[in-house]
Amino acid sequence: MGSERKSTITARIPTAEELAASRNLACNPADMEKNKNAYPHAITTNVHDKNNENNRLQFEARNAIDGFTQNTGHGTWPVQSWGPGNNMSTKDTFKIDFGRDVSLTEIIVYLRADFPHDTYWDTCTVKFSDGTTQELNFTKTANAQSFKLDAAVTTSSITFTGFNKVAGSDWAAWMEVQAIGSDIIG
């Protein structure tokens, strides 16, 4: 008889210490655009590069929460990004819905840094579900850019808006957005 491969899957309830530990609460490599019942979930208004519908998966919102941070190229895996194309307006949004209240202390952003093909956004505003906001100021770099929040924020979502693109290329994009914090226990 041929050898059979067996797999074992185990699951357990996380401990209170594990839930309280600080981690990236935005990561979901299995996020899908039309599945609105799995969290975290990335959502945009109407912006991703629709110039080539055959390749649009490499520029969807979900790519900015999939855990991949290699940002010096663009296109197919592992350099997929959220690329809204060159028609983005300051009114457009990028939202991460956590599906529950969480406590956030920091936001980390990896710009897509395929320079000189890309330019970048130098500012945007992040809005929390409680209505508070914080402005983020970016620099032209391939390094992670960390933004400590003024105080821990309890929120069920974060929405980025008011993107201001620096002159240069038509293309600006995010490779990865991380929301650092912990689950709220209770």
Note the pLDDT of residue 85: 65
Note the pLDDT of residue 167: 83
Taking 50 as the pLDDT cut, the residues of the chain under it are: none
Note the pLDDT of residue 23: 96
Domains of the chain: 21-183 (2.60.120.260)
Note the pLDDT of residue 88: 67
Is the pTM of the predicted complex or chain greater than 0.85?
A: yes
Note the pLDDT of residue 19: 85
Note the pLDDT of residue 49: 53
The DSSP line for the chain is: -PPPP-------PPPHHHHHS-EETT--TT--TT-TTSSSEEEESS-S--S-GGGGGGGSGGGGGSS----SS-SSTTS--B--GGG--TT--EEEEEEEEEEEEEEEEEE---TTTB--EEEEEEEETTS-EEEEE--S-SS-EEEEEEEEEEEEEEEEEEEEEPSS-SB--EEEEEEEEEEPP-
Note the pLDDT of residue 151: 93
Note the pLDDT of residue 68: 95
Note the pLDDT of residue 91: 73
